[in-house]
Structure 1
Amino acid sequence: MLGQLHDWGYREADEAAAGLTELLVRTAVADGGRRVSVHLADQDRQALIVALSHLPGLAAAGTAVLPELTGLGAVSCGTDTAEDGRRVWAVLDL
């Protein structure tokens, strides 16, 4: 993930990006599914990092992780549950 941000020309937010990614993945793994995917996008000097648990049938998404994401530097974050599992995401200024 950091390698892709570097390829896109962003190097200033390595620590925040790594911390956010770790927490997002830990949150998705805690759902107990067999796999997790991480998605990354950039636009207007911001990165969107999303972790998906791929565990269908979860109850409504909890929000306990949101203050932690904000504390790690997310300018926006959220979580939701859909047919394909729980998504938890964070936007980071680059």
Structure 2
Amino acid sequence: MNKPSEGRLVWNHSTHIPGLIPRLEKLIKYQGIKTVTPGVIKTVRGRCPHLKLRVSVPICGGYKVIARKGKTVQEVFITTTLEQAELEKAIAQCLS
């Protein structure tokens, strides 16, 4: 029996938004997710009290997702075979 393939989490940076990594570790277990790569952290003016992940734009082979918590924003690049609606559903399940 073949075990369903699991995606991988790429560690490019040493800092991440608090609570982001456990959510991404859940996300890579979804069928169709290949790689998840957190990007650069930036600070913004607005505040977001809870961790939110929002699909931003399509990229080659996947999507760019914006993670927000407090005044911190981090890009997350996801390569996947999922459609945008399926990815949004998987993200929503990981956040609940």
> Same fold judged by TM-score > 0.5?
no
Task: Give the structure with the higher percent helix.
Answer: 1
Q: Please give the TM-score of this superposition, normalised by the length of structure 2.
A: 0.37
